[in-house]
Amino acid sequence: MTEISLAPEALGAADALGGLDTPALLLDGERLERNCDRMRERLASHGVQLRPHVKTAKCVEVAVTALRSAEGPITVSTLREAEYFVDHGFNDILYAVGIVPHKVPRLARLVRRGAKIGVILDSVEAARALAEASARERVELPALIEIDSDNHRAGIQPDDPRLFEVARVLGKSLRGVMTHAGESYNCTTVGAIEVMASNEREAVVSAAMALRERGHEAPVVSVGSTPTATFARSFEGVTEVRVGVYVFQDLVMAGLGVCPVNDIALSVLATVIGHQREKNWVITDAGWMALSRDRGTARQKVDQGYGLVCDEAGRPMEPMIVADANQEHGIVARRDRGPIDFARFPIGSRLRVLPNHACATAAQFAEYQVLREGRPTEVWERFGGW
């Protein structure tokens, strides 16, 4: 285990965070801003629009930081997100989960409030249902056809003849195509992510070109995943990029080579509540109800358990991880199962845990404790629900 002494900055962190109850969700404001600036500048240099996916943050302050704007464009994955962000002034929103008829009335109410709301679908049946539901509500919801670029989840293959039938049913509601390269999360090298990014781009660009050749307008060509957005060599033919986890980063992204560990802006503050010396465990008050059940790094070269343990100042304490978790108890151990110096983890001391999956961990909390120079300065509300 790396020896961690009580340096002045660690003592300062203890003073600064001492007033917070645990578990608490910490958000490093400086890291957040750097992550947002980096992606915004990268996409601007390629001439494509950033449409951040706010499902990760579910927080207006984070969305404004990502865009330096309080209007959009943004991507959402729940109707609750769409409603919340319209309430806070955002007016250009893509609801990026396959649309079904019973959700149209809630979106229609947002359209009548002046918001531009887009939807996605991937079948003739969904296109017909959207047309009928939109007619009942007397609104038009612009639609993107979802393209399957990696056999990961939903979508139409770019060379599938059904693409043209869906476009025909949508008619004037058709705005273009979109895809999500979710399989990039399973890549093992940067080179593999670059190939995935190329496949992602080629799939939607070819689908858009095919639609245009058949006389359909397809001005929007949308791609999105943090790994492919980070490593894509070209965005030629793409008009917008949807990314979400990049604002915080996490251990899965670090394991993919997307970011270093010290770019991760999110952590969970936990308190040491016990020692199990015969089992070589340190027990904290942050179990899976705080960290989530996500074990995304288990498939990577370095398994981070339920999260990488840091000292209270946020410095990684390799090889300490949360090796297991119960509902309200985190079990901290060495990754190599070596002996622990329990004197370094006194009862009542604080640790931080970096998350495997920022979206899943953030979902366990109602607020972010925002840090500036290691000290809590603001509390940002986070919401949930559908």
Cα–Cα dist 175/78, whole Å: 21
The DSSP 8-state label assigned to residue 335 in this structure reads T
The mean pLDDT of 257-263, rounded to a whole number, is 98
Q: How confident is the model at residue 8 (pLDDT cuts 50, 70, 90)?
A: very low
Cα–Cα dist 199/134, whole Å: 33
Residue 13: predicted pLDDT: 60
327 or 5: which leads in pLDDT: 327
Residue 152: predicted pLDDT: 87
Residue 1: predicted pLDDT: 31
pLDDT digits (tens, 9 = 90+) for 52-76: 999 999 999 999 999 998 888 999 9
Domain boundary assignment for the chain:
8-28+256-381, 33-245
Residue 104: predicted pLDDT: 98
The mean pLDDT of 107-124, rounded to a whole number, is 98
From the number of C-beta atoms within 10 Å of its C-beta (0-12, 13-18, 19+), residue 301 rates as: exposed
The per-residue pLDDT of the chain, averaged, comes to 95
pLDDT digits (tens, 9 = 90+) for 17-42: 989 999 999 999 999 999 999 999 99
Q: Is the pLDDT of residue 81 over 60?
A: yes
Cα–Cα dist 284/300, whole Å: 25
Cα–Cα dist 308/297, whole Å: 11
The DSSP 8-state label assigned to residue 56 in this structure reads T
The mean pLDDT of 306-324, rounded to a whole number, is 97
Q: Is the pLDDT of residue 153 over 90?
A: no
Can you give the pTM of this predicted structure? 0.94
Closest to 338 measured CA to CA, from 317, 353, 355: 317
Share of the chain above pLDDT 90, in %: 94
Contacts of 280 (CB under 8 A, 6+ apart): 333, 334, 337, 339, 340
Fold of domain 33-245? TIM Barrel (3.20.20)
Region label for 201, one of left (φ > 0), alpha (ψ between -120 and 50) or beta (otherwise): alpha
Residue 70: predicted pLDDT: 87
Q: Do domains 8-28+256-381 and 33-245 have the same CATH topology?
A: no
Q: At the fourth CATH level, which superfamily is domain 8-28+256-381? A: D-serine dehydratase-like domain (2.40.37.20)
Residue 122: predicted pLDDT: 97
Query: Where do we find the tokens 């689908």?
Result: 207
pLDDT digits (tens, 9 = 90+) for 187-243: 999 999 999 999 999 999 999 999 999 999 999 999 999 999 999 999 999 999 999
Q: How confident is the model at residue 16 (pLDDT cuts 50, 70, 90)?
A: confident
Closest to 222 measured CA to CA, from 94, 356, 344: 94
Beta strands in the chain (DSSP E): 24-28, 49-50, 74-76, 92-98, 116-121, 143-146, 174-178, 220-223, 240-241, 266-276, 281-284, 308-310, 316-325, 330-334, 350-354, 367-372, 375-381
Q: Is the pLDDT of residue 4 over 50?
A: no
Cα–Cα dist 215/151, whole Å: 28
Residue 266: predicted pLDDT: 98
Region label for 114, one of left (φ > 0), alpha (ψ between -120 and 50) or beta (otherwise): left
Residue 18: predicted pLDDT: 87
Q: Is the pLDDT of residue 6 over 60?
A: no
